[in-house]
Amino acid sequence: MRSRSSFRSRRRSLYLAIAGTIALLYYFTFYSSSDPARLPESTQLERYMNYGGSLPFVPVVESSFDWSRVKLEYPPGQQRSLPQGGNKRLPPIQHEFGPESSAARQIRQARREEVRKLFQKNWQSYRKYAWKMDALLPLSAAGRDQFSGWAATLVDSLDTLWIMGLREEFDEAVAAVAEIDFGKSSTSRVNTFETTIRYLGGLLAAYDLSKRKVLLTKATELGDLIYIGFNTRRRMPVDFIDFDQAQRGEGLTVEGFVVSASPGTLSLEMTHLSQLTGDSKYYDAISRVTDLFHQHQNETSLPGMWPMYVSMSRQDVVTGRSFTLGGGADSLYEYLPKMYALLGGLEPTYDTMSRTFMNTVDKHLFFRPMVPNDEDILISGNVNIGDDGVARLDPESEHLTCFIGGVFALAGKLFGSPKDVETGAKLAQGCAYAYRSMATGMMPERYNMVPCESRKSCKWNEETWVKERSKRPEWKKHLPRGFTTAKDPRYILRPEAIESVFILYRITGDKAYQETAWDMFKAVSKGTRTEIANAAVLDVTIAGEDLPQEDYMESFWLAETLKYFYLAFSPPDLISLDDYVLNTEAHPFARPK
């Protein structure tokens, strides 16, 4: 006769077996479906753990050099801590989305799956032809090291793999990341800016999403290397870190002039590393740079903005007469409102700096272009200051400036300014207009248009356009009406336009932005397609089946462009803008609760 305790034990075992089977079925049905955002993104990891999932143990291969033990020639002295106190209750950013019809959901999911398939094709080719290298060559089916030989595309794509639910590929990539040796470099000098936004940003975001400790360990190793870049007489960062000097702890030499975005785009990543590790040294390092820009923001020849080139060696962020939101300056401005959000509103400096630059660029850089159908859109140009001190608009824009529409709308929500949200929308629509105007449906890298005298009203005038284009030796007969040049006709797989379209969709809830995103995706995916992946296009102004292409695929194609397209067709709780701040490489950092 069996004992009662034995019976209870067998019954408990049976119940556990049944429960485990149900859990696994639940996991495979919901978690590992082809629609990974079917569950709210914020609960995916919890469900994964509770219903049969497990985090694979990945041993960390420590880098051959410990950057944290370097004795600095110029130590920082007293360090500034992260802002303390309860986070402010910041305004919500995202639109309150209502129920979605079955028909709308089917269309959205089908479009998102097309983006996912294209990403998978590119990833599989990278894995086959360029694994652990910086970039894939999509025409010759080979790889190339562009930076320091630390697998830029692999690290940059980590969070995209996670967001798209490609867990097996993510696990394999994490195992490869664990073996990266940040104690060695394929180059004698390390680019501080690119290493921060692509590598450090990629590691931190992937850790935020997956909680894989190996990623934070490698991020800390890399952060300690970047920190050595501040080992200078005045604690200003160098543009390039001399690898050998850095390892010896020797004081580094700050370059004479650098583009302002280089020192101005280290703040999000270094701050978030301090948030995750509890070590304020990273935040302290970038705070000194912020203080410099803040102190002199209104002393430049265009108060509120900083010149394109600055001298960190002389701590001069004032001298200079060229101002832009394009290449060389863009992300300096992008990070100001994003830092305010990442710090939970506890550092008012970023509030002040954000509002100040926004007022200046809105007044001086934004213009309404004269276009045949009189659309009410905005474009961001450049400003040059003459010898007479007068600010003159140069109506030249570039793809890189397209980030500003999303940033303006984001800041408008953070600071309670509906007018700025509206301005951001017109800027995003301006970039979308540039896409659909070109014969290929893709926007050129750099171009000119005719600025209207007034933003309120602007009627098309053929004579004015002919007169203005005649002043431009770069004008070509096949350019669309309204455009006077396409100075650089390439499309190099850039993300900035879809970035702003995505953000405006999440902020306004207007589905017209999803339609815009789909039109852009169809044009880009078709025009850049190769047999194995996607490649930069050399001229987007001329239509044709076989567009001239360049044998190169930047890591931001997978890290940013396809991620933003995917998110534009995802449920709004996947990487909610109320939960994350995205760095300039589209890496989402968890906002403080």
- Cα-to-chain-centroid distance, residue 170: 19
Query: What digits encode the pLDDT tens for the residues 103-143?
Result: 999 999 999 999 999 999 999 999 999 999 999 999 999 99
The contacts of residue 127 (CB under 8 Å, 6+ apart) are 169
Which residue(s) pair with 536 in the sheet?
550
Q: Residue for token digits 């785009």?
A: 265
Q: What are phi and psi of 448, to 5 degrees?
A: -125, 150
- C-alpha 574/C-alpha 39 separation (Å) is 9
Hey, what are 395's tokens? 């109506």
The SS3 assignment for 588 reads: strand
The contacts of residue 512 (CB under 8 Å, 6+ apart) are none
Residues in the chain with pLDDT values less than 50: 1-53
How many contiguous H segments (helices) and E segments (strands) does the chain have?
A: 22, 18
The contacts of residue 6 (CB under 8 Å, 6+ apart) are none
- C-alpha 386/C-alpha 363 separation (Å) is 17
Q: Catalytic residues, which ones?
A: 194, 330, 445, 496
- Cα-to-chain-centroid distance, residue 288: 23
Residue 87: name the closest of 287, 337, 340, 272 by CA.
340
- C-alpha 232/C-alpha 235 separation (Å) is 5
What pLDDT sits at residue 48? 40
DSSP 69: G
First to last CA, the chain: 58
Q: What are phi and psi of 329, to 5 degrees?
A: -135, -20
Which residue(s) pair with 397 in the sheet?
447
- C-alpha 405/C-alpha 500 separation (Å) is 6
What pLDDT sits at residue 38? 42
The contacts of residue 543 (CB under 8 Å, 6+ apart) are 439, 440
Query: What digits encode the pLDDT tens for the residues 473-496?
Result: 999 999 999 999 999 999 999 999
- C-alpha 2/C-alpha 277 separation (Å) is 55
Handedness of CA 69, 74, 77, 80 (dihedral sign): negative
Hey, what are 433's tokens? 């207009």
- C-alpha 237/C-alpha 231 separation (Å) is 7
What pLDDT sits at residue 29? 40
Q: b or e along 407-429 (b: 16 or more beta carbons within 10 Å of the residue's beta carbon)?
A: bbbbbbbbbebeebbebbbbbbb
Hey, what are 444's tokens? 């050129």
C-beta atoms surrounding 311 within 10 Å: 18
C-beta atoms surrounding 15 within 10 Å: 10
Q: How many CA atoms lie within 13 A of 289 on its CB side?
A: 29
- C-alpha 481/C-alpha 395 separation (Å) is 15
The SS3 assignment for 76 reads: coil
- C-alpha 507/C-alpha 568 separation (Å) is 12
The contacts of residue 244 (CB under 8 Å, 6+ apart) are 188
Q: Is 584 annotated as a binding residue?
A: yes
* Cβ neighbourhood burial of 462 (10 Å; 0-12, 13-18, 19+): exposed
The contacts of residue 166 (CB under 8 Å, 6+ apart) are 120, 123
Which residue(s) pair with 393 in the sheet?
383
What pLDDT sits at residue 55? 60
Q: Please calculate the CA angle 265-267-271 and round it to the nearest 5 degrees.
A: 155
Inter-axis angle of helices 281-295 and 213-228, to 10 degrees?
50
Hey, what are 575's tokens? 């990487």
User: Quick check: 364 and 303 in contact, CB under 8 A?
Assistant: no
Q: What is the 3-state secondary structure (H, E, C) of 369-438?
A: ECCCCCCCCCEECEEEECCCCCEEEECEEEHHHHHHHHHHHHHHHHCCCHHHHHHHHHHHHHHHHHHHHC
- C-alpha 180/C-alpha 121 separation (Å) is 24
Give the start-end residues of each E strand in 47-176: 135-137, 142-144
What pLDDT sits at residue 43? 46
C-beta atoms surrounding 64 within 10 Å: 9
- C-alpha 241/C-alpha 332 separation (Å) is 20
- C-alpha 546/C-alpha 527 separation (Å) is 8
The contacts of residue 174 (CB under 8 Å, 6+ apart) are 58, 158, 206, 210, 212, 214, 215
- C-alpha 518/C-alpha 565 separation (Å) is 8
Q: Determine if the pTM surpasses 0.85.
A: yes
What pLDDT sits at residue 30? 37
What pLDDT sits at residue 4? 38
